[in-house]
Amino acid sequence: MIKHLDINVQGKVQGVGFRYATKATADQLGVRGTVKNEKDGSVSIEAEADEALLDLFLDFCHEGPEGAEVTSLQQHEGELKNYRNFEVLKRGLF
């Protein structure tokens, strides 16, 4: 069953390649959605996939790439948006 997760990752997660490593991991696992930097220094992710794949994806999100220091991760289930691929978005404007 496909699920949608809204994920917010906080810590040292900007300026360390977090978004691009997240995209690479998502592409490898078959996760669809988006990732973007937020003004508050966090990274926001929307991810859609089978629950087992989302669990593997979340394992990555808790660690991030080399150089990242994840201090907290919040997630909640949302409504499916039926993404076709995984995209890196520009910084959130709001």
Query: Quick check: 48 and 3 in contact, CB under 8 A?
Result: yes
Q: How far apart are the first and last CA of the chain?
A: 32
Catalytically annotated residue among 19, 32, 85, 91: 19
Catalytic site includes residue 91 = no
The answer to whether the Cα torsion of 32, 19, 73, 53 is positive or negative is positive
Count CB-CB contacts under 10 A for residue 28. Answer: 11
Q: Is there a catalytic annotation at residue 19?
A: yes
Of 37, 82, 84, 85, which is the active-site residue? 37
With 0-12 / 13-18 / 19 or more C-beta atoms within 10 angstroms meaning exposed / middle / buried, residue 57 is buried
Catalytic residue annotation: 19, 37
